Amino acid sequence: MTYKEVVDYLFKQMPTYQKQGSTAYKNNLDSVIALCDFLDNPQNNFKSIHIAGTNGKGSTAHLMASIYAEAGYKVGVFSSPHLVDFRERIKIGNEQISQAAVIEFVSQYKVDFQKIACSFFEWSTALAFYYFSQEKVDLAIIETGLGGRLDSTNVIIPEASVITNIGMDHMNILGETKQKIAKEKAGIIKLGVPVIVGRRQPETESVFHEASTTIRAPLIYSEEISVGEVGLHGSHQKENACTALKVVEVLNDRFFVSEQAKVKGLEKVVANTGLMGRWQTLELSHLEDFQGKEILPRAICDVAHNEDGLALVAEQLKQEQFSKLHVVFGTVNDKDVRKLLRLLPHAASYYLCAANISRALNVDELLKIASDVGLSACSYLSVWEAFLEAVNRADLEDLIFVGGSTFTVAEVLGKILE
């Protein structure tokens, strides 16, 4: 099998949440437990940190990984979703798992795993655990895919559990209140394992207190401290940096990190981990599509895709300097889109689109909602067509923002990086 054939095969393994939504969500851990048992439980062969949360868990995971890398540790990261290449999900340092390793794993276990009838994410989780075990990492940062209690990653016993924050997202699966969502996230808390919560929220404090007290897990809240320079742009990254530093502090007796490594780790997070899609400036000058345009505007993308995340995007946009704002926006069909669009600046031109996945919200429906909330918007047949139009209409002093969903960002990044 070629690498492309292997990835295509993985995406066909039962419905995938990335493409199809809640139909892919399982209400038990039976399959992933069976996979791990078959592989002799590789997740028990390395130390780990488990991280859940509505927003910021990817950034926080990579900030922690960068700090530990600066301290000299061999650090693996399992995160999701990917933007351009499946291999982004499984990394050691800034090196993605090799195509050969993915091909070998799937080819070796394909027949046996088919008997277990595992999903795409269960396959990915098992591969990550196996790879980190084979590579003998010192520490692995394991990010939940969705929720916590029933997430496929929730078979590890970590050194620390981390919950960044609780917001309103995936309510059709996790619950319609912050308390219910927090209870699902709190499912990653383990007996005696410290849990670090990134944001103290009145609605969820009692949930975390009860969960941690019941199983005697020390409950620690992150503190707002001066963190210096953070290599991820956006004011909200200060909160993620504070959470990462609190985890490092809690585990310092087991994984010593110098003050210099903390500083360098925060600064060099992109270089050390290869993280993309977080208030990322897009480089356009090399693209043939824009060779005839003498002046290229500044373009930024961000994977924020829910109410809390887009509220932060709106605040960040207020801090940017530009003459006119152009927003390339597409989202998925399980969000309160009207509420999301009302968070974004009205004084902007909107280029609406739908990513090439079945979960994408139909662009005609998106255009109707945008018109209802008073936005100046046009619709386009593809994400890339919308982006091209935004670039061609923008002047040098303007700003282009690409967002609304991970998939919208992914299609633009994929074109730029291909």
Q: What percent of the chain has pLDDT over 70?
A: 95
pLDDT higher than 90, residue 381: yes
Give, as one character, the DSSP assignment of residue 41: -
Question: Residue 365 and residue 405: Cα distance in Å, rounded?
Answer: 16
Three-state DSSP at 141 gives: strand
Question: Closest Cα to residue 224, out of 194, 246, 255?
Answer: 246
pLDDT higher than 60, residue 17: no
Return phi, psi of residue 312, to 5°. Answer: -65, -40
pLDDT in tens, 124-183: 999 999 999 999 999 999 999 988 999 999 999 999 999 999 987 655 667 779 999 999
- Give me Rg for the CA atoms of the chain: 21
Question: Residue 199 and residue 195: Cα distance in Å, rounded?
Answer: 12
What is the average per-residue pLDDT within 95-121?
95
Instruction: Please say whether the beta carbons of 185 and 208 come within 8 A.
Output: no
pLDDT higher than 50, residue 21: no
pLDDT-based confidence at residue 26 (cuts at 50, 70, 90)? low
Question: Residue 339 and residue 282: Cα distance in Å, rounded?
Answer: 27
Placement of tokens 């990044």 in the chain: 413
C-alpha distances in angstroms, 105 versus 3, 75, 89, 124, 140?
11, 21, 15, 10, 19
pLDDT in tens, 202-226: 999 999 999 999 999 999 999 989 8
pLDDT higher than 80, residue 20: no
Average pLDDT, rounded, for the chain: 93
pLDDT higher than 50, residue 397: yes
Instruction: Please say whether the beta carbons of 286 and 415 come within 8 A.
Output: no
Question: Residue 150 and residue 101: Cα distance in Å, rounded?
Answer: 27
pLDDT in tens, 32-78: 999 999 999 999 999 999 999 988 999 999 999 999 999 999 999 99
pLDDT higher than 70, residue 351: yes
Three-state DSSP at 190 gives: coil
pLDDT higher than 90, residue 230: yes
Sequence-distant (≥ 6) Cβ neighbours of residue 34 within 8 angstroms: 116, 118
Q: How many CB atoms lie within 10 A of CB 395?
A: 11
What is the average per-residue pLDDT within 373-379?
97
pLDDT in tens, 273-328: 999 999 999 998 888 877 667 778 999 999 999 998 999 999 999 999 999 999 99
pLDDT-based confidence at residue 23 (cuts at 50, 70, 90)? very low
Question: Residue 398 and residue 130: Cα distance in Å, rounded?
Answer: 47
Locate 183 and state its tokens.
Answer: 């209870």
Helices 120-134, 99-116: crossing angle, 10 deg rounding? 130
**CATH class belonging to 280-417:** alpha beta
What is the average per-residue pLDDT within 399-406?
97
The domain segmentation of the chain, as residue ranges, is 3-273, 280-417
Question: Residue 354 and residue 405: Cα distance in Å, rounded?
Answer: 10
Q: The domain at 3-273 falls in which architecture?
A: 3-Layer(aba) Sandwich (3.40)
